[in-house]
Structure 1
Amino acid sequence: MIQKLSRRDRLFILLVVGVTWTVGCVPPPTPIAPGVTQFPNFLFPRVPESMVDLPVVSEHIEAWRRLQAGDLSSATAGFSEVLSGNGMFYPAETGLGYVDIAARRLDDALERFDSVLEDVPGYAPAWVGRGEALLASGREAEAMSAYESALIADSLLSDVRRRIQVLRFRSVRVALEMARAAEQAERYGEARRAYEEALTIAPDSGVLYRGLALVERRLGELGLALEYVMRANDLEPDDAAGLVLQGDIHETLGDLEGAETAFSRAVRIEPTPNRQANLDRVRGRLAAMRLPPEYRAIPNSLQITRAELASIVGVNLGRFLEASGQNEAVLITDTRAHWAYQWILVVAESGIMEVFPNHTFQPENIVDRGGLAQVVSQVLTLIASRDPVSGQKWQAVREQFTDINSQHLQYRAASMAVAAGVLSVLEGNRFGLTDTVTGLEALAAVEQLERLASP
């Protein structure tokens, strides 16, 4: 016969059953799927060799697996349990720092990582964790510095290296956009600071050095501008735009040889009409600088001599005359020691200027407009032999002058010179055969001939 249970006994049985039922109803820990990685950028806090034999290592690994499965509470409990058993086990402290990042407790995470690094400054997982926390806080420059420290501690962290490259690219892009916006607004000091900041991140960027050079030129710091653009061109030697900028600065500073070298390289790399024009201009200036002082004084001359006219033609049209095939040996007895001898020889051998029957050139004789027209017509005839269509226009026109008629010996030369736009008619529709010619007038006439002779 079953005895009747007392009230106390019944309560005890109910308590035991209830506890048993409750325990049985608690769900087991969530199993971790193999290979699950919730936080691929987190670096496992590896256990140093001095600690690998500690019994807490397996618990540490399991806690990390829980974290990567997204079970933050289990991960926290696991790492905390490890630390309660061994407070010196800093990999678990690092693991808790990563849990803090996952839970967006970024200040707590930084505090944990800094604590670990204070004791173990070469621990790469703590540096990576610090970088992740800083990056999540929007402190990209500091994050990049932390990642770089991680690479110093462990150079095999290729993922971290890629993160640094991405951050550098992003930081440089932002700085470059800021610099260019400041340039457009003509805030050149601000643009300079933006370029300088970007160069601390990407010190081997030709684009940044080139941009900084442009800003320094705007600020009038040509020495710095040249230094920066030369650095850019060392880094990117095939950038034609950078070489053009270098040439421009050289030319502004008066270094025509340096400008010629830079422009020549730019033309070889990427020829364009503008770049060729730069090179031709500098070469022309160089050639003029190397000319005798007597030639450089011609623009100031109120009247020019035969030698001066020969030098103007020879300097500006020498190549054209040599290519024309007109080259007859001549004997000249009065110009051997003359400063313009080489150009006198060119114009005499090509038939552009006459040698007198007594084999003299008479270099100091004054040139009048009739004499200049004669030289101009000789050059126009050579041009017409290569360009008959244009030549026909000059030769067919019969200009009307009030001071010379069509029967005059110098009429044809004067008419051609005016028809081709090389010489102008004077007031009253005069040509003025005997009027003297200034240096500037002679230079302008030959410059027009040079344009007509250009292909």
Structure 2
Amino acid sequence: MMYRWPIMILLLGFIFVIHCAHAPQISEPIAISAEDEFRRGKASLDQGDWERAAVCFNRALKANPNYSEAYAELAYILALRNHPEKAIDYVNCAVRKNERSAASQIMKGRIFIMIQPALWFENAQHALNRAIELDPSNQEALYYQAEAYLQHQNLPESAAALKQLVERQGAYAEAASARLDYVEAKIKASPRSEVGDKLVDLKVITRADLAALLVAELGLHHLINRRNPNAYNQTTRQKLSNAPVLHIRDIAGHWAEDYIQEIVELQVMDIFPDHSFHPQETVSRVQMAMTLQQAVISISGDLSLDTAYIGKSTSFVDLKPTHYAFNAVCLMDEKGIMQGNPLTGEFDLNSPINGIDALISIRALERIFNSNR
């Protein structure tokens, strides 16, 4: 597959030059429907099959060289494949083909948000405002306008746009509500402990940071005892009290030593075979999902959650069913504890977790288990 992509990029570039330069077209019978091919392309894109989607969109253009939305979707694929200049060329061509296409204007806004070249915010807002002018009730345009504000750190404006979507109770209400939680969390930045205050603004967190947040912010030990009292019954407590303290060889004197010791004893985070914890190791999103899955199981006492999603499907384009954390990621998504990237449809498995995201996930987990006291 890796050898086919350069050929496909060349093919896309060739089609771009042919169509946007208004080169003469050779008349020949067209046996395919542009709309049908476009729908097939959208379906393939939803399934994460970018290559098949590109083939379908190109067929749509063969049937209708002025199909603005097909250019827009090809631009999106190019952006996903990290070809920013070609993506911008294609989406600009889409708009030129039909300046009154709200869908193409929205895609232009999305692509500028994704790529963020010079003056990206101004270009994104111009395109999204144009989409709203063309279709004042278009919720997708308003959603990505809120996303542009968020990425540009205009948090109050982002929150205002998201609140409009929530109030409309339309197709984007649920997604807007989840995103609004994120924006308001960044605005308020209201951790409940000194540890949270210390870590909330970190761009990446470590294993030590995560251990401290789970213990201090979530009150994990008390939450487990309240929701799953059998987890630490009298016999278990007696054994723990008589057992020697587990020696973790690389945390002595660390500021989070006590938190690490507790999280390991609660069996929510593990030590390595050499009895080290690696406190300074950065936590990725997939590692966060695995840890929070274990927290959910410990709090609920439901061991079946460890395999509940095996064999099921997922909408995340970067998550294969064979991935070791497939169940954990699906559990986080289903419970609303962790969110994927709304622009790309990816979970961003290997991206690091920052302090804000960690606290948002902890608050989401807390809400689940505090909703029915």
TM bucket (normalised to shorter chain) is 0.3 to 0.5
Query: Looking at CA atoms only, which structure, 1 or 2, has the larger radius of gyration?
Result: 1
Question: What is the TM-score of this pair, normalised by structure 2?
Answer: 0.40
The higher-RCO structure (CA 8 Å, 6+ apart) is 2
